[in-house]
Amino acid sequence: MTSGRTFLITGGNTGIGQATAIALGRDGGRVFIACRSAAAGAAAVERIKAESGSAEVWLLPLDLASLDSVRACAAAFLDSGEPLHVLVNNAGVGGVRGLTADGFELHFGVNHLGHFALTQLLLPRLSSSGPDARIVNVSSEVHYSAPGIDFTAVRRRTASFTGMREYAVSKLCNVLFTQELARRHSDVNAYALHPGVVASDIWRRVPRLARPLITRRMLTVEQGAVTSVYCATAPEVAQDNGLYYDKSAARQASNVATPELAGLLWKHSADWTGAC
């Protein structure tokens, strides 16, 4: 269920996102990749075209750390007049410290809030492009380690030295967002997933000497893209909604991922983004 369908992939210029774009393009999908760097994005478009054999690959500027940029990206896609069958919220940061342009903790702002805003803006196009429109949120098994969400802490600079505590919270947010999407929008199916522990560019800010030690036993980006492609295209999950996947199979999400917390996260996210 790929040929002739249109896919938008955040972070499609590198890592798992690029591998996902190549796989979808190879199977006949029309692919938009969204990323921050124009130069890196243009180079990625050419590589995706070359490796997929498809000429139907386009670039959209997107900085998920800026809600203004998110709005501009959504507007650019909507102005294209393209249908949107699948949105893959793939981009992310890990192991960093800081604030977004709008004053949110960096992991929360990029990994969750930017994608929340982008999804809200594109939902009408997804709904009108059905049947079988999908939203695929790339989460992580590290969400199991998050004890919950401190809604005060996500408005402050990263507190932990490694940023991994905040990264886990942001990945829990991906799962909660997926579940709440399923409750609120039955006409578009949402999926969260763990791609595996992948040696992708998400670890690019880890000190260079330590990076090989961290990534040497990890999966390749091609292996990491398998579950993303599965959730985006597999006919056997077309009736599923709000589930969490690992190794292309549904898996129980964290016990912390309750409807109450998902609803609270949605309310805060809508307030902070102006409901887009």
Residue 230 designated active-site: no
Sign of CA dihedral 2, 114, 117, 243: positive
Q: Which long-range contacts (CB under 8 A, 24 or more apart) does 196-201 make?
A: 196/223, 196/224, 196/227, 196/247, 198/15, 198/16, 198/223, 198/224, 200/14, 200/15, 200/16, 200/224, 201/14, 201/15
Q: Which of 167, 191, 244, 245 is catalytic?
A: 167
Nearest Cα residue to 82 out of 106, 107, 57: 57
Beta bridge partners of 193: 138, 245
Contact in structure between 236 and 243 (CB atoms under 8 Å): no
Catalytic residues: 167
